[in-house]
Amino acid sequence: MMNSIDLIISARQHLAEAMSLIDIAGTMKPKTGHWFDVGSLSCRCSNCGCKSTKEFNFCPHCGADMRGRDDEHSY
């Protein structure tokens, strides 16, 4: 049978696990970016700087969401 100290330690460990899961969820937030240096043949990703042949909705290299605009970064 667990005594109260063990229960407190166990609860704290669960809390720490829950907090780390929240941290992971926060870093999993999709990256956003936009295309710059847009020319007739290529454009570049503001997030990873790669060249792409087309303005995709998502960067094919880093996966950043390109549908938003830069003002998404302001908050």
Cα–Cα dist 33/17, whole Å: 31
Cα–Cα dist 53/43, whole Å: 6
- Window contacting Zn ion (CB under 5 A); options: 3-11, 17-25, 35-43, 54-62: 54-62
Structure tokens at 38: 């847009």
Cα–Cα dist 61/73, whole Å: 20
Contact track, Zn ion, 5-44, x by CB under 5 A: ----------------------------------------
How many residues form the binding site for Zn ion (CB under 5 A)? 8
- 45 is a contact residue toward Zn ion (CB under 5 A): yes
The residues that touch Zn ion, with contacts defined as CB under 5 A, are 45, 47-48, 50, 59, 61-62, 64
